[in-house]
Structure 1
Amino acid sequence: MQIGKKAVLVIFGICIPLLVAASFIAISWLHSEVDAIRSYVIEKELESIQSRIDRDLERFQLQLETSSLHPQSGVPISLLPEITVFGSTQVQQVIDGKFQPIDKSKPMEPMLPTALLASKQTKSGVYFDSRQAVGYVIGIQAESDIRPERLVLISRLTDNYLATLGLADFATKIEIEAGSAKHGGGLRGNTVIAQLNVPALLNQEQAHLSITFSNQFFSGMTRLYSAQTFGLLGLVSVLLLLVFFWLRSAVIRPLNQLSEQVLSLEPNSKDRQYIKSAGDNELSQVTKNINQLLERHYRQEKLSQVTLESITDMVILTDIHYNVSYINPYAEHLLKLSNEQAQGKKLHELLPGNQSLNNKITTFMQSSSLSIDSIRLRLNIDSPKLMSGTFGHFCNHSGDIIGAVLVLKDTTQEVLLKQQLQRQAYLDPVTGLLNRAAFEERLVGYAQSSQFIAVVYFDLEQFKLINDSCGHNAGDKMLSKVAKAIESSLSSNMLLGRIGGDEFGLIIKDSSALAVAKLIKKIIASVGCQSIEHNDTSYRVGLSAGVALARFNQQTDALELLKDADIACLAAKRKGSNQVHFYDSRDKDLSYQRNAPKWAVRIVQAIEHNELILYYQKIKCLSSHSHRQRLEILLRIQDAGGRILPPAQFIAAAERFKLIVEVDKEVIRKTFLWLSLNEQVWSDHCLSINLSGNSLGAEGMIDFILLQQKRFGIPSSCVCFEITETSAIQNHSRALKMIADLRRRGFAFALDDFGSGFASYGYLKEMPVDYVKIDGCFVKNLASNAKDYAIVKSVNDVCRVMGIETVAEFVENQEIIDRLEVIGVNYAQGYGIGRPQALDSYQSETVSEQVMATY
């Protein structure tokens, strides 16, 4: 319905009828209120008249009771001054049972009924003479001893008296009539008649007053209120008409024009659309807002169109019946259809061969879900393409689903690239075997599906020589040959992978240890036959193998088996070339190797939390001229159970995991700290600190030592660094440079374990050391073995000539000490001299000695 018709309906169909109805209701209410007021006023007036009559009767009775007859005229004396209470008054006397007028000159009126004589009391009341239609007020005096006569006082109710009972201009007429009064008043024309009972002299002779009241005042009031109500109704009606005509000209007509323009807009138009302004400023603002919305809609349409035409995703829109309503240009390109040709087709016609997709779309459409669902399909047009994307509903402004959108992306290249990356992630590019991550993942699955499993760890020998001599290309060629040689010996229940640079892993299911050993020997032989030529030189490799066997159960950790095989492979390499070693948990050396990673973690924690513990072992002076007491600093670590462990159990782990340099630095720092806290030992003590081969010439080691010396402010004469014979020779040039630099700054050096390696006196001649520590293997049997005695004496003689002092290790008894004194060895160290103790306890011993020396 148009807005103009709605306005007419509201004003003329609802507002005006409601106003008219309200006016009539108001008038009816006013009439009822006027009637109520009139009834109330009349009721009060009747009460006033009744009260007046009662008071006059009381006065009349009082006059009668207090009166006495005049001796001459016979008239009651008290009545003479006021005999006209009601009007003309006549006095009668009862003589011989009859009423006789006292004044004989006047006729007796009225003729009273003899029934009045029956009353012996004084009483008064109204008597209506029906023959004359006149009312009287009559009072009868009773007989008494003082007054034996009975007097009757009669007063006529005149019209003048009756007229004075009511309000002037309101009670227009008052008459007395026979009979009892009727309740309620009657409206007659412009008057209201009401009746009021008066006190009767005789019960059988009732009389009442008929009172006529004027209704002119109340009629005028009713007319005035009605006129005002209808006037207000007319005024409001006129105002409504004015409002209607204003709405019609100022609002309805411009809105109709605006509505016609809006309805004329084409929803699917691709051109800009605007509407013209109509009406006043408010409608102009509405027009402006609509045009802004149209402009925004146009821009969004253009943006959506450009986006859909530009993206390289296939976009298909359908209605709720799966009929295609739109496809974008990229979809046109892939489907070889135009948008017009595709419209109206079913999805299964547009995407043939994807019945599962059709079922999925049907289920999704029927679910009325507003979530986005992912889909994958294969598009077989021209060349096969793998498509993936999303499918979802779109709704109108009311939230009702009106269609669906299918967005598909060509993921063919992505899938191929992903497959390639997966191959690269799981396969070794050189050999084509599984890499370590894939091998370990498959290892777990293999273990779970077998009753007995063997994990073999292969490590190539001499492979580094090929890489260094021939280059990495030749090394990769050799790796490829080795992989093929190993694969040629395997069956289907075995799995091979490259798990390191020159390391391979093999998983064998449900085979005996003997069968595994035979297979490994066959593989070693096959690998040994592989060779490559480079610059007319043939290169071959060997193969060491470590094997870990296990009967699989729920507690078996397959990855731990690989670690065990790795440890066994290290043991095999120590045995020589092309060797096989089976892991045995009872082997202590293998157990140490297996626990090496845990020890490495514990060492790092100990360094970070300052938990490395320093011990010392005394070095006794036998024949030296030096006054200094010598101590060798030893390292201990505390395990989780609180036990103090010797270095044999963790130094190997520190060297294997490249932590030994950090351990040496921590020992240096803690030793220097102890010296800084014990200045009393600076003048007569020297502490020996062991340096590993890795620390010799390590980057920044010399700077670290000098920085710690400066930090703690200790003299260099208190420190001697011990290096092993083997490490000094293997790091010859770096060791020489480090020894020279630190000796120039006052530090001493000792060559440890001399005689245990392949050193010669030539190397000793080049090493500018201050001390040589003779290896304990020559000292511990010195007292009983002449050869050991000769070797020790020879080393001591050479060192004495070169100006180097000697220290004998492993000195366990006094007999050895005596022999060393004979030879002339300068110092002795071993359990015969003193066992290792905590360095902190030595501090307390030193203080105690000084205190005792004071006394």
Structure 2
Amino acid sequence: MAQASINTFINAMRKEFASWISKLNALNDHSLQRRYLYAAALFVTLMVTIAITGQQIIKDASDRHLQGMHHSTMVSDQLRDLLLRTSDLETAIQRFIITPNPKTSSAVKRSSDRLGSTLGIVQDSSWVKEHSQFSSSIKRLGEQATRLRTDIDRLIEMRRDIEEWFPAMRLMIGTMQPISVEFTSAAGLALEEAYEEMDDPKQQEIYRAFSAIRHGWLQLISEYRLYIANRFGVFVGNVNAGIEIRTKNITLYLEKISRLLNKLDAFKQRGQLQFVGEVSLDEMKELAHHWQATYIEVAKIINSEYWRMDLVILRHNIEPLLTNLRTDLLGLQQKLEIGIKSEAKNLSINASRLSMWLWIFCLAGILATIVGHYLFRRSVLIPLASMSTALRDEASDKNGTTIPKTNVSEIQDMVSAFDTMREQVHMRQQRLEIILDNAAEGIITIDKHGTIETFNNAAEHLFGYRHQDVIGKNISTLTKTPIRNQRDLITLYDKNDGINILDRELEMEARRQDGTLFVVSVKVSETIIQGNKLFTAIVADISERKSMIENLRRMAERDGLTGLYNREYFQTELQRVVERCRDNHSPGVSLLYVDLDNFKYVNDTQGHAAGDKLLIEVSGLLKNRARKGDLVARFGGDEFIVLLYDTNPTLAFSVAESFRKLLADYVYGQGAERVDVGCSIGVTNISKGTTSADDALSQADLACHLAKRNGRNQVYQFNPADQSKMNDMTLDMGWSLRIKDAIERNRFTLMYQPIVSNKDGKVHSYEVLLRMLNDNNDIIMPSGFLPSAERFGLAEDIDRWVITHTIEAFINSHHLLPGLRLAINLSAKTLTDFSVCELIHQQLKENQIDPARLTFEITETVAIADMSVARSFLAILKELGCRTALDDFGSGFTSFAYLRELPVDELKIDGRYIKNIINNTVDQAMVKAMNEVAHTLNMVTIAEFVEDEACLNLLQKMGIDYSQGYHLAQPDTMEGCIAAAHRQNEQKKIMVSG
């Protein structure tokens, strides 16, 4: 069989040889291919003879060992597959431990099944059964895999039961959580009982004690939750350090709670606790003791090895089994490799026999090479050497190099191709130079020593150099930082750390020919040409872009009007200062809270433009007076903040006093009017004891508030004793809660005061007045709650309540009072919310009310505050068909100037001009002027605060259209107004009949 194969191969080689002979006859005698084929034919003949002899020797040995090698290789692959299955199973278990869900648990089971099935295949292998040493080892692996599957199933089941997974969880959920809820509930009941007896000073102290213990308990529970979160690895960092900190904090809070319980127990011993307080105290003591005992038990479990049972199974069962599996599999592989080496040894004997023939092959090859080299050198190498010289000359730009002629046709073809290539290279070079010269960015080529090799037109324009002036010079000519070598070239350093600039776009400072520096973006790439490194830098001027970014950053940090730092920047800086002071990394810092005393007067009387001008001038004064290192910021409106660094309380007070004197001496003037601005300044010192930025700011704000309360134009320095004065300020917060409750529970009531015609004495309309009811249904006047409502942004909610209930009252009463008209006052905040107009429109439409029956009033000061908003809001009301009125007219100094700009139907003259009008001729003249202007603008006039008959008669003579005041009628309920109207009608009927 083997002889037949050899004969077939010889016949094939004869045919191939004959084919080569025919090709040789067809080729040119001087062809390189013909000469090569002659040498190749001789060499191939020699190779074939050697190959046939060696092939027969190797074939006999290969047939004997092929089958054994095949079986051992197959088993080796199966063992490798088992190792992979083991690794896959371990990976699946790790993923399940990290993310326990049905998907990962199914993956673990699949990996375990695949491992078992693969072991079964190996066990059933015929080769393994024939080799007993392998058979027993594979059987032991199967037993280990079975135990591993049992432990894995147990692990999966455990992860489904959280209380079995985390043994401490049963105590935390079943015991500690109910205790916490009961403790908080008991404290809350005691607080409610103490709150009801707050008039008693002792009960106030008891209330504070119960409040403190509930607060301490909530802090304890928060720390305990952080303790559990630390143990479960929620936070990044040192887990043990976090647990130690939380344990100390829990101990401190437990001690605090114990002290507070003892304090309350003292009240109990003195008989000062009420019934619920005593019961709650006893329950809280027992609950606190029980919680602490359970906490100690939980801490023991959590700090032990068995706090997570899945890790115990993984560590003590699964991981050892996986390790044994890998070890046994690797041992089997080593045994198998020894067997394979034995087979290889047998093959080496045959290889020795083959080596003799290989030596013969080598000698023949050497002889053939010597002969071939001689022929090749004479026919090819010498002509190609001339060709190489011509190529080098072309590469060195030495034009006109002549290539010698040769009789080898292939060399002639190469010469022709070379000429074509040289022409193409010249054309491409020209195109490249055109592209470089017309590129928008500067393109510079540099060698590894930093020497400039190319410099395009854009680079000339960018740096101000001509290319002939910089080519051959070091790149340092163009940079701010000297570049001495290749390391400096490919690595530029910023102020902090080194950054490799290859293939990165970085920013750096460059230098023009005139020495000016400018910012450029640079992207450097590396190329290797003829073994030499070259760097190509693409350079673009980004000075304008950097300038724009700087302007945007400045806009984000600065106040748009004054140019000072804005509120956001100040709060960030204040937070940083407080943290540094708290860490003892900063000397003393003081905070000044500056509030202008008369800004509102200027803004209201002279307009917003004047107010803005005032703020700009004050900002300049503050900035010029402050030190260069201090921070001056506009906090909002007419409030400024100054941070004084490296100071002390005495110096800070002195600096604040200098600011106060500066603004006290400053007189704002526009036109003929001059206004003393003045300011009130609150000072606080930021130290290690300052808890937060908000704490520091609230202290300065409180100090400023106290300065204003003491008479304005003063400096007040905060001290810890002032904290008690916060109680007065918190009254406003109490009012805000009462106002919200009154809105929700309809604890407001409406009163109505008639507006009477001066011509016939008939009621023209009723002004709607708001009152608040306390818990005893006593009346609270607007002066008691409206200021707080405005400060806490509740005025708009009150207006919505008034609008809705006024319309409801109109619906219920208009059939009893024919021609009923109601006038509603609106706050400043409501004018900025145009959804209120939508509410009015919706109420009018749903209840089919004539809009002209409703008049909406705004005060003159509200209109002045934002003229455009007031004008737009009133215009919308007019479009709905409602009437509009301007209240308290004449309170400003520029009243007549803007009156014609507002779309109002009624003008209500400020009561200050009406009270003393009988004896004050100036007031009489002012009222006459207001009346004439209003009538000229087709407005009716209403006089407020009409308190006597003489005043009413005078107003009638002046031509005032309507009057309102206690002389005519006091505010009353709608029922009272209806009854009064009926009495008036009855009296008229009696007079007519009489």
What's the TM-score bracket when you normalise by the shorter of the two chains? 0.3 to 0.5
TM-score by length of 1: 0.43
Tell me which protein shows more helix as a share of its residues.
2
Tell me which protein shows more strand as a share of its residues.
1
